[in-house]
Amino acid sequence: MSTAGKVIKCKAAVMWEANKPFSIEEVEVAPPKEHEVRIKIMATGICRSDDHVITGALVMPFPIILGHEAAGVVESVGQGVTSFKPGDKVIPLFIPQCGECKSCLGTKGNLCNKNDLALGGGLMPDGTTRFTCKGKAIHHFLGTSTFTEYTVVHESAVAKIDSAAPLEKVCLIGCGFSTGYGAALQTAKVEPGSTCAVFGLGGVGLSVIIGCKVAGASRIIAVDINSDKFAKAKELGATDCVNPKDFQKPIHEVLIEMTGQGVDYSFEVIGRTDTMTAALACCQYNYGVSVIVGVPPAAQKITFDPMLLFTGRSWKGSVFGGWKSKDSVPKLVADYMNKKFVLDPLITHTLPFTKINEGFDLLRTGKSIRSVLMF
Catalytic site residue 133?
no
Q: Give 15's strand partners.
A: 64
Catalytic site residue 35?
no
Contact in structure between 280 and 211 (CB atoms under 8 Å)? no
Domain span at 271:
177-321
pLDDT of residue 264: 98
- Are residues 226 and 317 both part of a single domain? yes
- Are residues 356 and 307 both part of a single domain? no
**Torsional sign, CA 163, 166, 170, 174:** positive
What's the CATH code of the domain at 258? 3.40.50.720
Local confidence band at 100 (pLDDT 50, 70, 90 cut-offs): very high
- Are residues 202 and 298 both part of a single domain? yes
- Are residues 349 and 287 both part of a single domain? no
Phi and psi based region of residue 322 (left: phi greater than 0; alpha: psi -120 to 50; beta: remaining): left
Q: 16 in a domain, yes or no?
A: no
Q: 332 in a domain, yes or no?
A: no
Distance between CA atoms of 319 and 178, rounded to whole angstroms?
Answer: 10
Q: 267 in a domain, yes or no?
A: yes
Residue of 68, 140, 154, 252 with catalytic role: 68
Catalytic site residue 112?
no
Local confidence band at 196 (pLDDT 50, 70, 90 cut-offs): very high
The DSSP call for residue 100 is S
Q: In terms of C-beta density within 10 A (0-12 exposed, 13-18 middle, 19 or more buried), how is residue 307 classed?
A: exposed
Q: 268 in a domain, yes or no?
A: yes
Q: 204 in a domain, yes or no?
A: yes
- Are residues 202 and 300 both part of a single domain? yes
- Are residues 200 and 317 both part of a single domain? yes
Say how many domains are in the chain.
2
Residue of 47, 98, 112, 212 with catalytic role: 47
Q: 166 in a domain, yes or no?
A: no
- Are residues 348 and 309 both part of a single domain? no
- Are residues 363 and 236 both part of a single domain? no
Distance between CA atoms of 165 and 330, rounded to whole angstroms?
Answer: 10
Q: 198 in a domain, yes or no?
A: yes
Residue of 10, 35, 52, 283 with catalytic role: 52
Q: 218 in a domain, yes or no?
A: yes
Phi and psi angles of residue 311, each rounded to the nearest 5 degrees, phi first: -75, -10
pTM recorded for the entire structure: 0.95
Which residue type occupies 2? Answer: S
* Low-confidence winner among 25-34, 120-129, 175-184, 305-314 (lowest mean pLDDT): 120-129
The answer to whether residue 157 scores a pLDDT higher than 80 is yes
Sheet strands (E) in the chain: 8-14, 23-29, 36-45, 70-77, 89-92, 131-133, 136-138, 150-154, 158-160, 195-199, 219-223, 240-242, 265-268, 289-292, 314-317, 347-352, 370-374
Phi and psi angles of residue 367, each rounded to the nearest 5 degrees, phi first: -85, -15
Comparing 227 with 120, the larger pLDDT belongs to: 227
Catalytic site residue 349?
no
Phi and psi angles of residue 54, each rounded to the nearest 5 degrees, phi first: -60, -40
Residue of 112, 171, 175, 196 with catalytic role: 175
- Are residues 198 and 267 both part of a single domain? yes
